[in-house]
C-alpha cells in the first residue's frame, strides 16, 4: 500500500514535470533580467523586466516591460535581439549568441537611464523642429513645440531605454492622462 502511494505521488510529480517541459519545448533562449526604478511613484518602485525567448538566442525575440508596484503593465516594447544589437536581420551564417551574451544584454537593457524631462534639449522658438534645435543627436518628438516645452518645464521623472542599435526612447508619465508616453526618440 505504501509503495502504491509512493508510485502515485511520483506519477503526479512526473506528470507535472512533463507539463512544464512541454511548455518550454522549443524555447532554447529563455532568459530575463529585472531592474527597479522610481518613476511613476515616489513611494513604490516600478519594475522593468527584459526577457528573451526563441529556439536559439540568435533567433530570439526580446521584450522590455515596465510594471508598477501592483503589477499593472505600463509600457511594453518588443524587437529582435539581432535588430537591437546589430541592426536588421542576421545574415546567413551569423555567429551563435551565447547564454552569457544574452544575460549581459538583458541586464544592460533593463538598466535604463533615469533622468528628468528638464534635462532634454530646449526647442528654441526659432527652430522648426526639435532636432534643428538640438546640438548633439537627432531628436524626434510626437508633440508640438508648446506641449514639448511645457512637459520639459515640468521636469518630470523620465526613463530612457534602447529601442534600436543606436536609437533611444524616453518615457514620461503624461500629467493629464497619468499614462506613460514617449516624449522623445533620439539617435545619431
Partner 1 sequence: MACALVALAACEQRSAAMGCNISVTQDLALSGSGAQETITARAIGPSCDKAVGLYAIHDAEGHPAWAWATPLPRAFGDAFADADEEVVRDFLTEWARPRLATTQAAPAWDALTPGQTTLDRLTYDDIRARDLPMLCHASGTVRELCVFWEPAAGGAGLYYERDVEETTE
Footprint on this chain of partner 1 (rule: CB under 8 A)? 5-6, 8-10, 12-13, 15-16, 19-20, 23, 54-55, 59-65, 67, 71-80, 88-90, 140, 142, 179
Closer to partner 1 by Cβ: residue 37 or 74: 74
DSSP state of 15: H
Q: Supply the minimum distance, in Å, between the C-beta of residue 73 and partner 1.
A: 3
Closer to partner 1 by Cβ: residue 16 or 153: 16
Q: Give me the residue label for grid cell 522648426.
A: 128
Closer to partner 1 by Cβ: residue 80 or 116: 80
All three cell numbers of 91: 545574415
Q: Supply the minimum distance, in Å, between the C-beta of residue 23 and partner 1.
A: 8
156 beta partners: none
Whether residue 164 contacts residue 140, with contact meaning beta carbons closer than 8 Å, is answered with no
Output the DSSP codes for 37-58: E--S-SSS-EEEEEEEESSSGG
Whether residue 180 contacts residue 174, with contact meaning beta carbons closer than 8 Å, is answered with yes
Q: Supply the minimum distance, in Å, between the C-beta of residue 35 and partner 1.
A: 17
Closer to partner 1 by Cβ: residue 9 or 150: 9
Q: Give me the residue label for grid cell 508619465.
A: 173
Q: Supply the minimum distance, in Å, between the C-beta of residue 75 and partner 1.
A: 7
Amino acid at each position: 500500500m505504501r509503495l502504491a502511494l509512493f508510485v502515485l505521488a511520483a506519477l503526479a510529480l512526473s506528470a507535472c514535470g512533463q507539463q512544464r517541459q512541454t511548455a518550454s519545448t522549443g524555447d532554447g533562449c529563455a532568459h530575463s533580467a529585472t531592474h527597479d526604478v522610481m518613476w511613476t511613484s515616489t513611494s513604490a518602485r516600478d519594475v522593468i523586466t527584459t526577457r528573451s525567448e526563441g529556439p536559439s538566442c540568435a533567433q530570439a525575440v526580446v521584450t522590455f516591460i515596465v510594471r508598477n508596484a501592483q503589477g499593472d503593465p505600463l509600457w511594453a516594447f518588443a524587437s529582435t535581439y539581432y535588430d537591437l544589437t546589430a541592426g536588421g536581420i542576421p545574415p546567413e551564417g551569423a555567429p551563435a549568441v551565447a547564454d552569457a551574451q544574452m544575460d549581459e544584454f538583458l541586464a544592460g537593457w533593463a538598466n535604463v537611464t533615469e533622468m528628468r524631462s528638464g534635462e532634454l534639449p530646449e526647442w528654441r522658438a526659432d527652430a522648426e523642429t526639435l532636432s534643428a534645435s538640438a546640438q548633439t543627436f537627432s531628436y524626434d518628438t510626437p508633440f508640438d513645440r508648446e506641449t514639448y516645452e511645457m512637459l520639459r518645464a515640468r521636469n518630470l521623472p523620465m526613463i530612457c531605454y534602447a529601442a534600436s542599435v543606436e536609437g533611444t526612447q524616453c518615457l514620461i508619465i503624461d500629467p493629464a492622462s497619468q499614462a506613460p508616453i514617449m516624449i522623445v526618440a533620439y539617435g545619431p
